[in-house]
Structure 1
Amino acid sequence: MASTLPLRFNSRAPEVLSDPYPVYAELRASGPLSRGGPGQWVVSRYADVVPLLRDRRLSHEYPPEYHEFSIGDGPANSFFQRIILDRDAPDHTRLRRLMAKAFSPRLVQRLHDFIERQVELLLAPGLEGGLFDAVTELAFPLPVMVVCELVGIPPVDRDLVRPHAIQLAKAFALYVAEEDRASAHAAVAWLREYIGALLEERRRDLGEDLLSQMLTAELAEEPGVRLSREEIVDNTIFLFFAGFETTTNLIATSCAALLGHPRELARLRADPGLMPTAVEEFLRYDAPIQATARMAVDEIRVGERTIRPGRVVVLLLGSANHDEERFEAPERLDVGRSPNPHVSFGGGAHHCLGAGLARVEAQVALGRLLSGALRFEPAGEVVRIPSVTFRSYASVPIALR
């Protein structure tokens, strides 16, 4: 039975930013719903999170007033009202159908060879020198290279674009701190100008990248297919950000998990065929994206409580992945865990478009790293980036040979 006074989840509490999993366990034990920020309900149990990810009574679209409250006035407000992440059908269906072409099996296979070449280049200095930072030398640069290749950003511009995409990450917090708002808005403005200019270049010379495909759709005459210039620009920006943020976190958290679990590391090194199931376990064990939010548009009953329309519902993906009722010994890393029905890529119509590509990048990067290094041991203290939305690292130092 739910408690009379549900626990309150403070997403910015130091203990949550440091290690949210003990707090998640308290939330799950206290009842199906917890209080969040103003007008927020927080859902922590797997049995509730999974159906709510698919529930049409929860909307991805927020009124402009919500964005203004969350991030303040600026370019990021209209950005969130255009991107596929925050659109419902039929707009979401239209955008997803077009953007899915960028993640076709044929294109992912083509990128597989590109990923392998980049991994070899990125790992070479660490394997030769013996010291390696999994974040700065692999987890961060690799996904950026891949998503730039996917989108069509020229190699010469990649270091220029990357810092602005990092600043954009601040806008995706459950609540954006006052000190982060200006830089988030500035990132949107800069990226819009850059992608807009790149789009005009593509008009004169179409290629096979995502920008070219979306531009072709903009020029199409079929009703319900046409994209506006603003939709193309903002969704390209979102794809660029999402394409490296999740995968960067996945590779970094995977390396950190292996350093902390030498037996599972030895097991994976002894049986490289476990890599696909290992990557699924890394996704579950320390989900790159910890939470997602929706807006209730109708009454929803969760346990003994009713969520009223207009309330924000925060679904704790990281907590659902550690639910004792669904996963045996969820706090234990098991690189051979199967089945592993984690929710790290969301669910329903909004299931992550780039999930397949992220898995390929992680499998190739980790496989080559483990096969090429005779040692794989901690070389210093790991440094986390405080965030409740993302599980991010600034540094994961490793000793290799």
Structure 2
Amino acid sequence: MSPTRRSTLPRFDSHDPAVLADPYSVYRRLRAHGPVCRGGTGQWVLTRHADVTACLADPRLGTEYPVEYHRMSVGDGPAVSFFSRILLDRDPPHHTRLRRAMHPAFRPAAVRALSDRIGAMVDDLLEPAFDRGHCDVVEDLAFPLPVSVVCELLGIPAADRELVRPHAVDLARGFGLVVAEPDRAATHAAVTWLRDYIGELAAERLRSPGDDVLSHLLTPASDGGPVDLAEVVDNVVFLFFAGFETTMNLIASGVAALLDAPDQQRLLRKSPDLVPSAVEEFLRFDAPIQAVARLVREPMSLHGHTFRPGRLLVLLLGSANRDERVFADPDRLDVTRSPNPHVSFGGGAHFCLGAALARLEGRIVFDRLARRCRGLVPAGTPQRRRTTSFRSLSRLPVTFLAA
């Protein structure tokens, strides 16, 4: 059978209101039609788990885009050079060098050492909520916890965290496949403000180094090569954003999933030892990052379609995580699911640097809730952020009773 002609393939539009409201129904229809669909100009979209997993690690695909791609995505301005410098959008050898410099702070042993400190932060955030009997999960827990953790790692003073927060939220708008026109100015302004702020911190660390990620990145490498200050600043800005966005979405979406599945709530309360597998299921069920893109560097063919160099492959992580070929009853939350080969942290050389930290924060939060909550019920209407690449909530009011 000849491959489906491009003109007859369904199109995936990340800005479609139907996608923003319920991406999983859209993904289900796309997977049923076939493994490949159209995207925007010069884009192909992959929907199934096997293809997404393979392409995440395929050396013929890269993430280092020409400057023109960034201009097309976010418009001309300071965010263009920002996206050209950060770890997320670099290929080897630059990606390898940057990841090696950042890895010590995120290696499993270093993350485990943070367990007690994170536990204390979670307790400090939950105690007032338990006393009140209600909270906004986003405002009172899912956002402040990972922001506090990443600020400590990077050396951002506690007194400045609320100052930094709105600019980090605006920066998040720039990580879509194509940034909506109304969001572009905010993205550029956020990059400018955060660069200035981190630049001032970097100047302080050069005068008086500390034991934080920023100080370590400012230390000359063993080969004696000079430190690229602009590159360090931009990557610390990126680490600050990446350090809270995924974890915030994991916690908020995990609680939202439990609100819709009281049986799974009861199971977790009965067996808190299921929390690690529950966190993996929250990651699968409602992936914090819904899609990533890869640049075709060499000609390649898949399912009868040829992808030419310079084209973009959009890998729908959220769709891959609901692929019925891999996951039984994929639209049902199952905190006991095993195995659970979700792709929410990506794969290959770009596997999420902070995956271990996100998992630890998620496990501590849901362990506390499982052991100390008798019930968790909605207390109002949740609100979703209108983002195209992230599955994110801006408001999630709940009522619960402390055990």
Q: Say yes or no: does 1:151 pair with 2:151.
A: no
Counterpart of 1:303 in structure 2 is 303
Query: What amino acid is aligned across from residue 100 of structure 1 in structure 2?
Result: H
TM-score of the pair, normalised by structure 1: 0.97
Provide, for residues 117-139 of structure 1, a one-character-per-residue CA deviation record: whole Å limited to 9, x for no partner.
Answer: 11111111110111111111000
Give the Cα separation in 2 of the matches to 1:221 and 1:358.
30
Q: Secondary structure at the match of 1:374?
A: strand
- Contact 1:32/1:302 (8 A) holds in 2: no
Counterpart of 1:352 in structure 2 is 352
- Contact 1:370/1:376 (8 A) holds in 2: no
Aligned ranges 1:197-212 → 2 under 5 Å: 197-212=200-215
Identity %: 57
Give the Cα separation in 1 of the matches to 2:181 and 2:380.
33
Query: What amino acid is aligned across from residue 74 of structure 2 in structure 1?
Result: I
In structure 1, stretches of 5+ residues that fail to align are none
Counterpart of 2:269 in structure 1 is 269
Q: Secondary structure at the match of 1:375?
A: strand
Deviation, structure 1 residue 162: 1.1
Deviation, structure 1 residue 106: 3.5
In structure 2, stretches of 5+ residues that fail to align are none
Q: Say yes or no: does 1:15 pair with 2:18.
A: yes
Q: Secondary structure at the match of 2:156?
A: coil
Give the Cα separation in 2 of the matches to 1:182 and 1:347.
32
Give the Cα separation in 1 of the matches to 2:221 and 2:144.
35
- Contact 1:3/1:30 (8 A) holds in 2: no
Aligned ranges 1:276-287 → 2 under 5 Å: 276-287=276-287
Query: What amino acid is aligned across from residue 141 of structure 1 in structure 2?
Result: P
Q: Say yes or no: does 1:38 pair with 2:31.
A: no
From the superposition, tell whether residues 93 and 396 of structure 1 become closer, same or farther in structure 2 (CA, over 3 Å). Answer: same
Counterpart of 2:199 in structure 1 is 196
TM-score of the pair, normalised by structure 2: 0.97
Deviation, structure 1 residue 59: 1.2
Give the Cα separation in 2 of the matches to 1:289 and 1:205.
37
Query: What amino acid is aligned across from residue 399 of structure 2 in structure 1?
Result: A
Give the Cα separation in 2 of the matches to 1:133 and 1:8.
36
Give the Cα separation in 1 of the matches to 2:366 and 2:207.
39
Question: Which deviates more, 377-386 or 276-285?
Answer: 377-386
Counterpart of 1:394 in structure 2 is 394
Q: Say yes or no: does 1:70 pair with 2:83.
A: no
Give the Cα separation in 1 of the matches to 2:356 and 2:112.
10
Query: What amino acid is aligned across from residue 182 of structure 1 in structure 2?
Result: A
Provide, for residues 246-299 of structure 1, a one-character-per-residue CA deviation record: whole Å limited to 9, x for no partner.
Answer: 000000000000000000110011000000000000000000000000111111
Give the Cα separation in 1 of the matches to 2:84 and 2:292.
16
Give the Cα separation in 1 of the matches to 2:370 and 2:338.
22
Query: What amino acid is aligned across from residue 380 of structure 1 in structure 2?
Result: G
Give the Cα separation in 2 of the matches to 1:82 and 1:39.
23
Deviation, structure 1 residue 109: 2.4
Q: Say yes or no: does 1:108 pair with 2:150.
A: no
Q: Say yes or no: does 1:382 pair with 2:385.
A: no
Question: Which deviates more, 363-372 or 390-399?
Answer: 363-372
Give the Cα separation in 1 of the matches to 2:375 and 2:130.
10
Counterpart of 1:164 in structure 2 is 167
Q: Say yes or no: does 1:242 pair with 2:245.
A: no
Deviation, structure 1 residue 107: 2.5
Q: Secondary structure at the match of 1:315?
A: strand
Give the Cα separation in 1 of the matches to 2:227 and 2:87.
12
Deviation, structure 1 residue 370: 2.7
Deviation, structure 1 residue 226: 4.8
Q: Secondary structure at the match of 2:179?
A: coil
Counterpart of 1:220 in structure 2 is 221
Count of residue correspondences: 398
Give the Cα separation in 1 of the matches to 2:35 and 2:173.
29
From the superposition, tell whether residues 61 and 376 of structure 1 become closer, same or farther in structure 2 (CA, over 3 Å). Answer: same
- Contact 2:173/2:387 (8 A) holds in 1: no
Counterpart of 1:370 in structure 2 is 370
Give the Cα separation in 1 of the matches to 2:178 and 2:141.
29
Q: Secondary structure at the match of 1:319?
A: helix
Provide, for residues 8-39 of structure 1, a one-character-per-residue CA deviation record: whole Å limited to 9, x for no partner.
Answer: 11111111000100110111111121110111
